[in-house]
Amino acid sequence: FFPGGDIGRLAVAGTVNDIAMIGAEPVALTCGMVLEEGLPLADLYRILESMEQTCNEAGVYVVTGDTKVVEKSGFGGCIINTSGIGKRTEALDHNLAEVKKHRQLSSRWLLDSNLRKGDKLIVSGTVGDHGVTILSAQEGYNFGSNIKSDVAPLNKVIEQLLEVGGIVSMKDPTRGGLSNSLNEWSQKSKVGIMVHESNVPVRGDVRAACEMLGLDPLEIGNEGKVLVGVVPEKVEEILSILKETKYGKNAQIIGEATCDFSEVVLETVVGGKRILA
């Protein structure tokens, strides 16, 4: 359990988002639970209730699963493994048709390899919230603020964006944060990426916590954010729709794909440039 969520919400949202990021509609989940001997039943019921609420929010069902109880070994009480299945939608096909009005796209899905020179990059909100929250909860840090996890299912938001069209790729910047996701895009699409640091939204208290701990907020995991690659002709429309949603009100255009170099380059707030590894 942590501010803003728990392991149950994290498990459901993580799988839902993985499916949604390629443009599919999540439909059903499996759930395997490993419970440590001595786990309070009240905690288990609380986790299950959280999973049910998150499933309801995402519009998905847990259709099968398994439960095992193991002897007490200090792994933290509970492990949850979820996987999911989704389906292709008319919204995805409409989105790709809008892309093809402006440039060629051979893929039928929203893949990491789809970025091309000129595509604009949007992040749906402040970065680093989840990672700092988990670190605070695990290590007992108290930053004297209201930092909480951003964990959330994003499939309904993504569906609205696909209905606008023009999206070529999406990623949820989880492990490794924004930096890792951008580097994966760059490597798989074989393009450079320019990121403008002044445009990347970071909460003031998250930035202060990262400075205190010697961390980079761009390298910390998120669980309720999406990176969106959009053809330039549709970027303002996508941004406008995203800002009207519950989970996208702090969205910003943070950069663009380029052929001027092959790496991910961060233009700092003082005007310098460095490689974002």
Q: Is the pLDDT of residue 1 over 90?
A: yes
Pairing status of strand 61-70 against strand 25-36: parallel
Say which range, 74-83, 90-99, 117-126, 193-202, has the weakest mean pLDDT: 74-83
Q: Is the pLDDT of residue 129 over 90?
A: yes
The closest of 155, 156, 165, 168 to 228, measured between CA atoms, is 168
Q: Is the pLDDT of residue 144 over 70?
A: no
SS3 56: helix
> What pLDDT, on the 0 to 100 scale, is given for residue 94?
98
171-191 confidence digits (pLDDT tens) = 999 999 999 999 999 999 999
- Using CA atoms, how far residue 175 sits from 14, 45, 178, 181, in Å, is 11, 28, 9, 9
Q: Is the pLDDT of residue 143 over 80?
A: no
Instruction: Please give the structure tokens belonging to residue 152.
Output: 């959330």
Q: Is the pLDDT of residue 67 over 70?
A: yes
Q: Is the pLDDT of residue 75 over 90?
A: no
Question: For 121-179, what is the HEC assignment?
Answer: EEECCCCCHHHHHHHHHHHCCCCCCCCCCCCCCCHHHHHHHHHHCCEEEEECCCCCHHH
CB-based contacts of 199: which residues, under 8 Å, 6+ apart?
252, 253, 254, 255
CA 202: distance to chain centroid? 15
Angle at 227 between CA 204 and CA 144, to 5 degrees: 20
> What pLDDT, on the 0 to 100 scale, is given for residue 146?
85
Pairing status of strand 61-70 against strand 167-171: unpaired
Q: Exposed (0-12), middle (13-18) or buried (19+): which is 130, by Cβ within 10 Å? A: buried
222-258 confidence digits (pLDDT tens) = 999 999 999 999 999 999 999 999 999 999 999 999 9
Q: Is the pLDDT of residue 145 over 80?
A: no
Angle at 145 between CA 253 and CA 8, to 5 degrees: 75
Q: Is the pLDDT of residue 138 over 70?
A: yes
Angle at 226 between CA 225 and CA 231, to 5 degrees: 150
Is pTM beyond 0.85? Reply is yes
207-230 confidence digits (pLDDT tens) = 999 998 899 999 999 999 999 999
193-207 confidence digits (pLDDT tens) = 999 999 999 999 999
Q: What percentage of the chain exceeds 90 in pLDDT?
A: 93
Q: Is the pLDDT of residue 136 over 80?
A: yes
Q: Is the pLDDT of residue 141 over 90?
A: no
> What pLDDT, on the 0 to 100 scale, is given for residue 100?
97
